A and B are shown apart, each in its own frame.
Chain A
Amino acid sequence: MSGLTGVYWTLIRTALAEQLQYRAAMVIWLIGRVVQPVIYLAVWTIVAQARGGTAGGYSVRDFAAYFIVVMMVEHVTFTWNMFEMEYRVRTGEFSPLLLQPLHPMHRDVARNISYKFLTTVVMLPTCLLMIAFYEPRFELAAWSLAAFALALPLAFAMRFFLEWALALAAFWTTRVAAFNQLYFLALLFLSGRMAPMALMPEWLQTLAYWLPLRWVVAFPAELFLGQLVRAEAVEGLAMLGGWTVVSWGMLALVWRCGVRRYAAVGS
């Protein structure tokens, strides 16, 4: 294996070895990722039952399908760059990465992939257990699943670029935790993680349409569940593609300005 593929292969292998050292931490993180959608599902189940079986057109089994798929989409697309970057910049850990002939982002992509590879082994059985327990209703369509297969890696790329660019705020201020909280709050409401977008107020749906977050979680989930007509799928893919390009551009710009400001403190 040569070129960038070979580099990735080695980075993923060493990341796997590293992550296997922290099995307990990994399980705790995973529990957090599973519990959150289960709580939302429980809440919406109660709401639907209280309203005679449906809420906003979603039955209990529809909610189950939605939150199980959202959990998997979220698992594939989530990154922890924004948590990590502040520490790296503040302690000077970022310095050695800047002096190697490989953009530091590649290393993060490799670590993300290796983490997902390891944790999928647990996530998939969890998902099957949830399916057995909640009996979700899936109405799958081949063309929609094909669009989902296209949207999912695009969503991962877009979210990675976007969050890496936002994480680079650490070059301007070494305390970015508050800024991160703001972003994750927006992610909760505007991505469809807390509730299907159709249940949100009209103005929030409009806002979400024009912002990137809806396209990384809710949109792939809706594709998987066959909730979109073809025109909506094409429109969504275009929005996702557009935001991927915009995020990439933003990342390139912020990176270019940020490294000039990098003070290499702590090293």
Chain B
Amino acid sequence: MANHAVVVDHLCKTYVVPVREGGVRAAVRSLVRRQTRSVRAVDAISFAVEPGEIIGFLGPNGAGKTTTLKMLSGLLYPSGGHVRVLGHTPFRRERDFLRQITLVMGNRHQLVWDIPVLDSFERNRAIYRLEPGAYRSVLDELIDLLELDELLAVPVRNLSLGERMKCEVAAALLHRPQVLFLDEPTIGLDLTMQRRIRAFVREYNLRYGATVLLTSHYMADVEALCRRVVVIHHGRLLFDGDLDELVQRFALDKTIVVELADGGCDLESYGRVLESAEGRVKLCVPKAETAAVTGRLLSEQAVLDLTVEDPPIEDVIEQVFAGELA
């Protein structure tokens, strides 16, 4: 356990939220008797992360992903269970701990709105008490990796969303943290910027051996960066393992793409037709019947080409969350 970067043991977070029916009568009643209910946002989840690992947190809105990251970074006090990050208890927020982690939230900024980006970086340099030489060297690297050169002298309010996000990421990494908590780091960015941020995270991980815990609604982020995923739903851990294993375990179907010599032919008897155009048909068949259906297609049809694919990861995840397979 001592070698793990992150250890989470039966971690829980319960929020007490006020509840009230609509209408004036309920509003008046709530003055006298305020009703609340407990919402268990994270329910006894356990996992461990090795140093240098990149893991993705998957789950629909309200699943508990962000709450988990906030507890791991020390922002929230857990209702139960234990967390250790780099040997520290996050909630104590010891300086030594805070100097080794960072939390990047896609919708939150730590840059000062009205002053040039470089001034915000300078402020972080002072707060993290970085030596000028070390700071300059990290900054040069970040400028190079994220192509920030043109942005440093621009006030933050004049940056585009993508440019601001790059600067946010740079500001969060000036102290060269060992553990990165990235909560929707590519939210709202165009595809080019998403790819650039992904490439940067990968490069940072390789260069410094940093541990990365990432949540994203974009499967492309997770597929590009994470071999391992943790699936959370209703605060509970549904799956913890390789992305490939997730597909193997939860995908009920396979997709067969077949190209026929004689053009349009009705293949409904083989499986559910997903697409059909110009002799190319995409079929969805139960995983257990894939071999048999493939054999029948090859023997009964004039097949020019045939491939068997796993369904898109988004579909598998959707199935998991829909409770069809959980």
**Chain A interfacial positions (CB closer than 8 Å to B):** 3, 6-7, 9-11, 14, 17-18, 21-22, 92-93, 95-96, 98-102, 259-264, 267
Known: A21-B115, A262-B76, A263-B76. A99 touches B103 (CB 8 A): yes
Q: Does B107 touch A at the CB level, under 8 Å? A: yes
Interface size class of B (residues with CB under 8 A): 20 to 34
Residues of B near A9 (CB, < 8 A) are: 126
- Compute how far the CA of A101 lies from the CA of B174 in the bound complex, rounded to whole angstroms: 13
Contact of A99 with B75 at beta-carbon distance under 8 Å, contacts A7-B129, A267-B105 already known: yes
B103: chain A residues within 8 A (beta carbon): 95-96, 99
Question: Do A259 and B115 have beta carbons less than 8 Å apart?
Answer: no
Residue of B nearest to A2 (CB): B129
List 9 additional A-B contacts (Cβ < 8 Å) besides A10-B126, A18-B112, A92-B108: A6-B126, A7-B129, A10-B123, A11-B123, A99-B93, A100-B127, A100-B128, A101-B129, A260-B77
A14-B119 in contact (CB<8A): yes
Return the chain A residue nearest B155 by Cβ: A21
Q: Tell me the bound Cα distance from A11 to B102 in angstroms.
A: 20
CA distance A68 to B144 in the complex (A): 55
Within 8 A of A (CB), among B44-74: 70, 73-74
Determine the distance from Cα of A98 to Cα of B102 in the docked complex, in whole angstroms.
Answer: 11
The number of A-B residue pairs with CB atoms under 8 Å apart is 78
- 29 contacting pairs across A/B (C-beta < 8 A): A3-B129, A6-B129, A7-B126, A9-B126, A10-B123, A11-B123, A11-B127, A14-B112, A14-B119, A14-B120, A17-B114, A17-B115, A18-B114, A21-B115, A95-B103, A95-B105, A96-B109, A98-B75, A98-B93, A99-B101, A99-B102, A100-B98, A100-B110, A101-B128, A259-B77, A260-B91, A262-B76, A264-B75, A267-B105
- Min CB distance A15 to B, Å, is 9
Closest to A19 in B: B114
A3 neighbours in B (Cβ, 8 Å): 129
- Residues of B at under 8 Å CB distance from A? 15, 70, 73-77, 91, 93, 95, 98-99, 101-103, 105, 107-110, 112, 114-115, 119-120, 122-129
Contact among B95, B108, B124, B126 for A95, CB-based, below 8 A: B108
Question: How many angstroms between the C-alpha atoms of A267 and B69 in the bound complex?
Answer: 12
Which of the residues B102, B107, B115, B126 comes within 8 Å of A267, measured between beta carbons? B107
**A3 CA to B131 CA in the complex, in Å?**
11
Distance in Å: Cβ of B172 to nearest Cβ of chain A: 9
A11 and B126 form a contact (CB under 8 A): yes
Output the least CB separation between A197 and chain B (Å). 38
Lowest 5 CB-CB distances: which A-B pairs, in order? A10-B126, A101-B95, A96-B110, A101-B98, A21-B114
Contacts of B91 in A (CB 8 A): 260
- A262 lies within 8 A of B75 (CB): yes
* A10 B125 Cβ-Cβ under 8 A: yes
Q: Which A residues are in CB contact (< 8 Å) with B112?
A: 14, 18
Chain B residues within 8 Å of A18, by CB: 112, 114-115
B-side contacts of A260, CB under 8 Å: 77, 91
- Pick the contact of B119 from A17, A259, A261 — CB < 8 Å? A17
Contact A99 B98 (CB under 8 A): yes
The answer for the CA separation of A175 and B103 in the assembled complex, in Å, is 27
Given the complex of chains A and B, what is the CA–CA distance between A98 and B107 in angstroms? Answer: 16
Closest Cβ neighbor of B104 among chain A residues: A96
Hey, which chain B residues are within 8 Å of A11, CB to CB? 123, 126-127
- Least CB distance from B22 to A in Å reads 20
Closest to B171 in A: A96
A32 to B22, CA, bound (A): 41
B105 contact set on A, CB distance < 8 A: 95, 267
Chain B residues contacting A92 (CB-CB under 8 Å) are: 108
The reply to whether B75 and A14 contact each other, CB–CB distance below 8 Å, is no
Interchain CA distance A263-B76 in the complex, whole Å: 7
A3's closest neighbor in chain B, by CB? B129
- Asked, given contacts A14-B122, A18-B112, whether A95 binds B127 with beta carbons under 8 Å apart, the answer is no
Contacts of A259 in B (CB 8 A): 77
Residue of A nearest to B116 (CB): A17
Q: Is the CB of B15 within 8 A of A14?
A: no
B122 to chain A: which residues have CB within 8 Å? 10, 14
Chain B's closest residue to A7 (CB) is: B126
In the complex, the chain A residue whose C-beta lies closest to that of B97 is A101
Closest residue to B168 on the A side, CB-wise? A96
Contacts of A98 in B (CB 8 A): 74-75, 93
* Shortest CB distance B7–A (Å): 20
Selected contact of B15 from candidates A7, A263, A267, CB within 8 Å: A263
- Asked whether, in the complex, the Cβ of A99 is within 8 Å of the Cβ of B74, the reply is yes
Whether the pair A101, B107 counts as a contact (CB closer than 8 A) is no
Query: How many angstroms between the C-alpha atoms of A7 and B129 in the bound complex?
Result: 7
Report A102 CB to chain B, min CB distance, Å: 5
A38 to B127, CA, bound (A): 41
